[in-house]
Amino acid sequence: MLSALRKSVAGSSQAICRRRMATVAPTLVQSKLNTQSKVSKPTIRKVADPIKPVYLTMSSFTGKSKGAKKAVALDPTVFDHPIRRDILHLCVVHHLDSLRQGTASTKTRAEVAGSRRKIRPQKGSGRARLGDRQSPMLRGGGVAFGPKPRDFSTKLNRKVIQMGMRVALTMKLREQRLGVLQRINWWSHKTATLNSRLDGLGWRTGTLFVTGESEVPARMRLASRNLRGIECRTVTDLVVYDIVKWRRVVLDIAAVNALERSLGKGWLEISDSERVVSDIPHSSAEEVEAST
């Protein structure tokens, strides 16, 4: 009786399974054939926008130009980098740590000269117990946990420092405190002539001149060395702290080329003929105000 019941139940379940497969399978096969019969359309990819240079109005040391204003084409990977204040903080702290001398030194009780004799007996005097004269509690004794010569310099990856340089230059450009000259040179070694010209430009205080040449031109160096708030430096000696510290940074074309060679990513190559452009619209050029 039980065996007959089991056989009937097994036969009904197999029939149900066959019936379900018979109804489902044709629809799956038909859907696959329909999808294969359709012609696949080619996917359209959006072309990325071409990298365009950033234009900055060129400044002049000799005076206002009578013709059209000239602009300097700058690499956006160097002068239009996303702002990262944390990277600037790391670079500034890294530079300031390297400037610390770390020569402070004190003598411990083992290094102070004097007798090692116990000052008075341990008991019987009615006063506090004392050891030798080198105790840190006594005047003229050693120093407990005093400073010793040490190295305060910290390590920072080269790529982080390069990113900090890009961020600092971008901040100066966006704050309109970055200027570009054809060449950082002055016709006289007299300080008074350079001082009057810088007053006319509004660059008298807090201006750092950076040149891409091997050394600062002699006349410019002699004329500016007695001016407070003015400093000249080569691009090899430039660090992130200098760009952050000085209110205004003025580069020459050679310095711009050197910075783009060392910091650029190679996505945009600007030749010497394309570096200086005339008749640039006002909307595409950043003005460097003299009042900054």
Each residue's pLDDT tens digit in the chain (292 positions)?
Answer: 556 555 554 555 554 444 444 344 444 445 444 555 555 555 554 445 678 899 999 988 876 556 668 899 999 999 999 999 999 999 999 999 999 999 999 999 999 999 999 999 999 999 999 999 999 999 999 999 999 999 999 999 999 999 999 999 999 999 999 999 999 999 999 999 999 999 999 999 999 999 999 999 999 999 999 999 999 999 999 999 999 999 999 999 999 999 999 999 888 888 888 898 885 544 444 444 444 4
Residue 253 lies in a domain: yes
Residue 258 lies in a domain: yes
Query: Do 143 and 233 fall into the same domain?
Result: no
Please report the DSSP string for 76-140 in residue order. Answer: HHHHSPPP-HHHHHHHHHHHHHHH---------TTTS-S----SS-SSSSSS-----TT-TTSTT
Residue 18 lies in a domain: no
- Full residue range of the structural domain in which residue 214 is found: 54-100+156-286
Query: Do 146 and 276 fall into the same domain?
Result: no
Residue 40 lies in a domain: no
The beta-strand segments (E) located in the chain are 54-57, 70-74, 178-181, 207-211, 230-234, 248-252, 276-278, 285-286
In angstroms, the CA 246 to CA 177 distance is 10
Query: Do 125 and 243 fall into the same domain?
Result: no
Domains of the chain: total = 2
Query: Do 141 and 255 fall into the same domain?
Result: no
Tokens (6 digits) for 249? 């940074």
Residue 31 lies in a domain: no
Query: Do 138 and 258 fall into the same domain?
Result: no
